[in-house]
Structure 1
Amino acid sequence: MTSDESSGYAPLAPEHIDFEDLRRLEGDLFQAVGGRLVFDEKLRSFFRSAIDEVIDTARTGRFFLSDLEKTEKTYLGTKFEILLRDWLDVPKGVVLDLHIGGQEVDVKSTTGGGSGWMIPPEAIDQLCILLRVNEVDSTCAVGLVRARPAYLRSGQNRDAKTSFSAAGRVNIWWLVQGFAYSPNFWTLISEQTREYIMAPSGGTNRLVRLFTACPGIPVSRVLIASVAKQDDFMKRLRRNGGARDKLFEAGIVVLYSEAHRELMHELGLTFGAREFVSYKIENESDRAKLQMHGVID
């Protein structure tokens, strides 16, 4: 794979001591997820899903990462690890966080936008996947590294954990840097629009307002649950009495990445895995594409 400056892809040089190990790990990751294109699509929704599930708007009435308690923010690292194993469909390791390609790999994350990955004793000299999230500008980074002692600071915290030195960080193989993931939906709209969406008493009507007011913005199942506020929230979005009927009357269709991926690319939409996007039918060309893909009759 060649370096892609737009995504921040930056592998190590072939003569680097860790080149072969990290090249193999990269290959195992992309093979597990279904290729580089699918990796990028899934990454757009990966962090969003994890963060939104912890915020839990439907039950807590909270909307932002800043609303979380300190312990909940700490738990996010565990949430990323759990969802990554599910995303890659790989088991948990005996000692480290996951088992992929015949070897155990640790997963470390930081949500401060910096390089504060904490490396425990059991991960020293082991392969690690590094996740960095910046919720302020909705960008992330994913790196691969072997946590050699030479790359780490000499000092340790009370848990005997340490971190990478500035010089040590040059040994990270970056899959992406500054990669834009799906932002927190509630940061994209005004407080007035949020109140407009949430005002109706019925979940179906709230979803109609959501997809009418916010065309082209990716919406996750977690967000749909937050807006519908009902156990059977997906039923409120379906045809035959759900929000899709009322939306179609207004010339709006709701597309789903897992069912309409090719069509969504044709329409120029940006989306992640398991995300919904509403689209306003503007002309006969749009209608023909939607008919060809079986979205409308």
Structure 2
Amino acid sequence: MDNLYTQPEHIVDAPLDEVVAELKRLDPDGIRWASVVRHTYDVIYNGQETGRYQWDQLMKTEKTHFGTLFEIYGQREFGFADGDETDYRIAGHQVDAKWSQKSGGWMLPPEVFDELALVATGNDHKSIWSLGIIRVTDDVRRSSKNRDAKTQLHAQGASKITWVWRDAPLRPNILLQLPPDTVKKILSSKSGTAKVAQLFREAEGMIVHRNSVSTVAEQLDAQRRVRGGSGGARTLLAPEGYVILSGSYHRDIAAELGVPVPLSDEYISVRVVPTGDGSGTRIGDRNWRRATTEDTITVPAPIVKDKKGRQIES
């Protein structure tokens, strides 16, 4: 992740600079904050129980609750101390955490006036997020307030945000990366396993997070829908040439096949054919390569196993 620290022209504010420096020290590449954002989206969707996977499917109260969860998960990830009246104390300074789905939409209560605010936003469709720090002084906030005495930054005030990360990459939500008609097709399958199998057909060569599997299956044992053996997507898809790789066991295979390498909580499906000449990637007792659109599948794909040769459950 690129260093996206941008410093606007502003008066010297040593506490602000110290907070920014501490955020960068704790998370130089922004990977941990990106994980907080991803986790908050996934928890608020609650896909395993609801089948939801995008912001527009949430109720108004859930959208409002997103900021609270973001604050909680941020504190849990980094172990920030509580502030006196603000959410956090970072580098010894009071900092209030604010999330808005729309950049500039942060609601600022009186307790953050003249204090530092950690303002964050994201877009799951675009797979991006941003996080910055600003001191909420009179000259950056609107004079108008709502009935709770909360206000917002005005346009000029928002330009004073010190962005620590700006439009940084967010781990993709595969159900937002695929065309809507394709997602509809996936979800129209009759059983949880059939839905999971269709997901891996449609998302060949793309990273699929475990949460997306749970959302599609809508079952408590969703990850077992991936397994090999009877009743799993691996077995259903093998005759069609698909192998489903787990980030916990098959990262080397993914790299050798030339596809994105999944993390430990991710999968990737790859359509493969045997090479017959000793080239390619060794899986089981044969060598394989990624199939092209011109290849006809005549040999079932292998059912991948763990490092000890056992058939894996997920």
Task: Give the C-alpha shift of residue 223 in structure 1.
Answer: 1.7
| Corresponding residue pairs, total | 283
In the alignment, is the contact (CA less than 8 A) between 2:234 and 2:242 conserved in 1? Answer: no
Same amino acid, percent of matched pairs: 28
Instruction: Supply the distance in 2 between the matched residues of 1:30 and 1:260 (Cα, whole angstroms).
Output: 32
Task: Give the C-alpha shift of residue 157 in structure 1.
Answer: 1.9
Task: Give the C-alpha shift of residue 171 in structure 1.
Answer: 2.5
Task: Give the C-alpha shift of residue 103 in structure 1.
Answer: 3.8
Spell out, residue by residue over 1:144-187, the C-alpha distance to the aligned partner (whole angstroms, 9 max, x if none).
Answer: 12223332222322111122233322321112223343454333
Spell out, residue by residue over 1:165-214, the C-alpha distance to the aligned partner (whole angstroms, 9 max, x if none).
Answer: 33322321112223343454333333442243234444333222212210
In the alignment, is the contact (CA less than 8 A) between 1:218 and 1:275 conserved in 2? Answer: yes
**Match of residue 150 from structure 1:** 139
Matching of residue 82 in structure 1 with residue 72 in structure 2:
yes
Q: 1:50 aligns with which of 35, 40, 60?
A: 40
Instruction: Supply the distance in 2 between the matched residues of 1:79 and 1:40 (Cα, whole angstroms).
Output: 18
In the alignment, is the contact (CA less than 8 A) between 2:124 and 2:170 conserved in 1? Answer: no
Q: 1:254 aligns with which of 242, 245, 250?
A: 245
Matching residue's letter, 2:65: Y
Instruction: Supply the distance in 2 between the matched residues of 1:98 and 1:205 (Cα, whole angstroms).
Output: 45
Alignment of 1:7-86 (within 5 A): 8-12=4-8, 16-18=11-13, 20-33=14-27, 35-36=28-29, 39-40=30-31, 43=34, 46-86=36-76
Task: Give the C-alpha shift of residue 280 in structure 1.
Answer: 4.4
Instruction: Supply the distance in 2 between the matched residues of 1:30 and 1:259 (Cα, whole angstroms).
Output: 32
**Match of residue 177 from structure 2:** 188
Alignment of 1:282-297 (within 5 A): 287=281
User: Higher helix share goes to which structure?
Assistant: 1
Q: 1:168 aligns with which of 153, 157, 168?
A: 157
Matching residue's letter, 1:163: Q
Instruction: Supply the distance in 1 between the matched residues of 2:279 and 2:154 (Cα, whole angstroms).
Output: 55
In the alignment, is the contact (CA less than 8 A) between 1:41 and 1:271 conserved in 2? Answer: no
Unaligned runs of 5+ in 1: none
Over the aligned positions, Cα root-mean-square deviation in angstroms equals: 3.8
**Match of residue 187 from structure 2:** 198
CA separation of 1:281 and 1:42: change in aligned 2, threshold 3 A: farther
When the two structures are superposed, what TM-score results if normalisation uses the length of structure 2? Answer: 0.71
Matching of residue 117 in structure 1 with residue 113 in structure 2:
no
In the alignment, is the contact (CA less than 8 A) between 1:53 and 1:222 conserved in 2? Answer: no
In the alignment, is the contact (CA less than 8 A) between 2:54 and 2:124 conserved in 1? Answer: no
- Secondary structure in 1 aligned to 2:139? helix
In the alignment, is the contact (CA less than 8 A) between 1:121 and 1:160 conserved in 2? Answer: yes
Task: Give the C-alpha shift of residue 115 in structure 1.
Answer: 0.7
Unaligned runs of 5+ in 2: 288-304, 310-314
Bigger CA radius of gyration: 2
- Secondary structure in 2 aligned to 1:140? strand
Matching residue's letter, 1:87: E
In the alignment, is the contact (CA less than 8 A) between 2:207 and 2:262 conserved in 1? Answer: yes
Spell out, residue by residue over 1:36-56, the C-alpha distance to the aligned partner (whole angstroms, 9 max, x if none).
Answer: 1xx24762x543442343233
CA separation of 1:180 and 1:286: change in aligned 2, threshold 3 A: farther
**Match of residue 105 from structure 1:** 95
With CA pairs under 8 Å and 6+ residues apart, which has the higher RCO, 1 or 2?
1
Instruction: Supply the distance in 2 between the matched residues of 1:187 and 1:234 (Cα, whole angstroms).
Output: 20
Task: Give the C-alpha shift of residue 261 in structure 1.
Answer: 7.3
CA separation of 1:137 and 1:77: change in aligned 2, threshold 3 A: same
In the alignment, is the contact (CA less than 8 A) between 1:120 and 1:161 conserved in 2? Answer: yes
Task: Give the C-alpha shift of residue 122 in structure 1.
Answer: 1.1
In the alignment, is the contact (CA less than 8 A) between 2:246 and 2:262 conserved in 1? Answer: no
Matching residue's letter, 1:228: A
Task: Give the C-alpha shift of residue 143 in structure 1.
Answer: 0.9
In the alignment, is the contact (CA less than 8 A) between 1:151 and 1:168 conserved in 2? Answer: yes
Task: Give the C-alpha shift of residue 107 in structure 1.
Answer: 0.8
In the alignment, is the contact (CA less than 8 A) between 1:138 and 1:183 conserved in 2? Answer: yes
Instruction: Supply the distance in 1 between the matched residues of 2:238 and 2:262 (Cα, whole angstroms).
Output: 21
Instruction: Supply the distance in 2 between the matched residues of 1:57 and 1:295 (Cα, whole angstroms).
Output: 28
